[in-house]
Structure 1
């Protein structure tokens, strides 16, 4: 099991070794095959995952049309904590899928386990809250640019600020996220 990146995150936050061992102990290692749905729309999501290997997209299900659209990307080096935010915080079924787009490994943590540990250890609570806030701020930033930027400006922004998305996420999902066709994305690639 290669959880060094997660352990490094915990160490960087100042967690003592005994608490790191406790946190790792409540996590469950899961291997996820490419094109496998980790969480499906309509299900409850009471788990948060840390990506050790691979990449995922979060896709929102349009209840009226049945279409799915990518709303976020997650990789070891970009937003490695993933969950279905709508379900995780409201305790209602999610409207999203978490889809592995490559072979992946994650550490899975049940919400109750994390909250119990965070309640007992202020330093873990601060780590947990900081990562949730960071994810929400990042997602808000992306959504703002999605609304404000032209397709060309948004693509240029992703290339300049998050090249790992371009390198690791298939164009189909990037186009879906941007709300454009794969053909239009191909034209943008040739322009930039």
Structure 2
């Protein structure tokens, strides 16, 4: 049986038998993407939760003035979606684009609900994933109100070296909430 990266990710939190893997394979949809492909458009409803088999993505918001703010990145072995849109089936506040050629595993909203019924332990798995995402975002907000830009940049590159290799300085600046010029001046210090 082909060993998807996703199996390793899931088995960090719950065990999977071969028959459960087979069932999961029957529900999975692989999506190969090009660089700079938009997989979710801000304003549309997110019907997919994505797992990154390989590649990288970013989620961003464009405000009324046209300014982009990067909200999150995702690299191999990470999950990404507009969570509010996906869970509540409301218009997305984020767009998600690939930063390079990527392979994604898509979990359709309705198929995920089927999976919960067929294998209830997946509700536990996704509860853990969603809790971890909430904690990560809470810590990010605390970093933003507690640390200088220089400290936040240093913490970002220490915490996410695999992301730093895949994204531009402009995207990091957008994630940190500063201009690329300001980030450049911070890095020179």
TM-score, scaled to structure 1: 0.90
Partner in structure 1 of residue 134 of structure 2: 136
The change in CA–CA distance for 1:44 and 1:175 in structure 2 (over 3 A counts) is: same
1:30 aligns with 2:24: no
Unaligned ranges ≥5, structure 1: none
The Cα shift of 1:74 comes to 0.8
Q: SS in structure 2 opposite 1:168?
A: coil
The equivalent residue for 2:110 is: 112
Shift of 1:36: 1.3
CA offset at residue 184 of structure 1? 1.9
Q: Following TM superposition, by how much is the alpha carbon of 1:105 offset from its aligned partner in structure 2, in angstroms? A: 0.8
Secondary structure at 1:98 match in 2 = strand
Q: Structure 1's 69 and 157: CA in aligned 2 closer, same or farther, altered over 3 A?
A: same
Equivalents in 2 of 1:5, 1:83: separation in Å?
Answer: 18
The residue aligned with 1:53 is 54
Where has structure 1 moved over 4 Å in runs of 4 or more? none
Note if contact 2:30-2:106 (Cα within 8 Å) is conserved in structure 1.
Answer: yes
Unaligned stretches of 5+ in structure 2? none
Aligned residue in 2 for 1:19? 20
Q: Is 2:161 the counterpart of 1:160?
A: no
- Deviation, structure 1 residue 3: 5.7
Q: How many correspondences in the alignment?
A: 187
d(CA) in 2 for partners of 1:51, 1:30 = 10
Q: CA offset at residue 5 of structure 1?
A: 1.6
The correspondence for 1:124, drawn from 81, 101, 122, is 122
Cα deviations across residues 141-186 of structure 1 (Å, max 9, x unaligned)?
Answer: 1122123221001011112222222222211111011111112222
